[in-house]
Amino acid sequence: MHKSIDGRTPPYRAVIKGTGSFAPAKILTNEDLLRMVDTSDEWITTRTGIKRRHVTTDDETTAFLAAEAAKSALSDANLDAGELDLIIVATITPEMVFPSTASFVQRSIKAKNAWVFDLAAACSGFIYGLAIVQQFLQSARYKNALVIGAETLTKITDWSDRKSCVLFGDGAGAVVIERSDEGRSGILYSTMYSDGDRWDALNCQAYGSRHPAHKQLDDPKKIYMQIKGREVYQLAVRRIVEAVTQCMNHSELGVDDIRMVISHQMNARIIESAAKRLKLPDEKVYVNIDEYGNTSAASIPIAFDECVKKGKIIRGDIVIFVAFGAGLTWAANVIEY
C-alpha cells in the first residue's frame, strides 16, 4: 500500500530543531569476528563496507541508548523535555514485549506531558516516524515531538552465523521536531511503502504469538534474526532508487538542489549502487557503515546527527532520507533543514 504526503503548502511546518545520537563505547572489529566465525576482514570490507560496530554490554538496553540520544537532541534544540507532546521510538529490538520502549524513555527524560509509542517498521521506522509527526505538527494538533531510532540488534544476533553476525551493530539517533509557521524549512515530503508478502526475507520469529515462550521452538535459531541477504540485495537497490526518484520528481529537485542523501546503512555496496543509478556524486551520499554496521532504525538519525555536527549539512540544505528493510518496508523523506 502506498501513501504520499505533500508538505509544501500548509501554513505550519514540522521543523527539525535539534539532533542527537549515542553509540555504546564497546567496539567489535572485523578482527574480533575472526575469532568467532570463519570470515575475513577482506570479505566483510569488500562485501559490506563494515570495519567496526558498536555493541552494547548486558546493562545497556534499547531504552538506555534511546534516552541518551534523546537528551542530546533536546539539549541541541534547547527544549525542556516537559514541553514534548509526542515521543515515537522506532525499534525492532524493544526494551521488553510491553510496555513500549518509549514509555521507558519518557520516564528517563521526564517528558511528563507527552504521549508515547513504539513504531515497528524495521529499517524504515525512523522515516515512518517523521512522516507521522509531520502530520500532527502540520495540522497544528501538537507543537513539539521527538522521534528516536534505537536498536540493540546484537542482542538478537546469531554469533555462530557468519552470513549475518558480521552485519549488525547497536546505537540510537534522535531528532526534536517543532511546529513552525515561519520560513520554508521542515519536512517537505514523505513517501512510505510496505510489502507484507515478503515478510520471510528478514525476520526474528520468537517469542511472539506465533511462537510463544511456553512452546518449544521447532528451530532454536528462531530466537535470532534470519536474513535472506542475497534475495533482498537487488530489491533494496531498486526500491531506494525508486523512492529517491519519487522524492526528486514530486519536490521538483535536481541533483544540484540536494545537499545530501542519507540512506539506511545496510551495505555500502547497496548504497553505492543506488547512488550510481541516481547519478549522485560521492559528496552527496553519506556513508558511515564502516564505523557502525547496520543499526536498522537508528542508522539514519545517527548519520544525520554526524552530518550536522560535522557541518556537512547546514540550515537551509535539502536532504533526502531513504530506507529499505524488514516487512518489507521502504520509505523516504525530503527535508529542508
Residue range at the interface with ligand ACO (CB under 6 A); choices 76-84, 162-170, 186-194, 208-216: 162-170
From 70, 77, 123, 175, residue interacting with ligand ACO (rule: CB under 6 A): 123
SS (H, E, C) the chain: CEEEEECCCCCCEEEEEEEEEECCCCEEEHHHHHCCCCCCHHHHHHHHCCCEEECCCCCCCHHHHHHHHHHHHHHHHCCCHHHCCEEEEECCCCCCCCCCHHHHHHHHHCCCCCEEEEECCHHHHHHHHHHHHHHHHHCCCCCEEEEEEEEEHHHHCCCCCHHHHCCECEEEEEEEEEEECCCCCEEEEEEEEECHHHHHHEECCCCCCCCCCCCCCCCHHHHCCEECHHHHHHHHHHHHHHHHHHHHHHCCCCHHHCCEEEECCCCHHHHHHHHHHCCCCHHHECCCHHHHCECHHHHHHHHHHHHHHCCCCCCCCEEEEEEEECCCEEEEEEEEC
267 is catalytic: no
211 is catalytic: no
From 19, 21, 30, 48, residue interacting with ligand ACO (rule: CB under 6 A): 48
294 is catalytic: yes
Q: Cβ 116 to ligand ACO, closest distance in Å?
A: 23
Q: Which of 264, 267, 307, 333 is catalytic?
A: 264
From 122, 147, 172, 175, residue interacting with ligand ACO (rule: CB under 6 A): 122
Binding mask 240-279 for ligand ACO (x = CB under 6 A): --------------------------xx------------
Under the criterion CB under 6 A, does residue 326 sit at the interface with ligand ACO? yes
Site of interaction with ligand ACO (CB under 6 A): 39, 43-44, 47-48, 122-123, 162-163, 166-167, 202, 227, 229-230, 232-233, 236, 266-267, 294, 296, 325-326
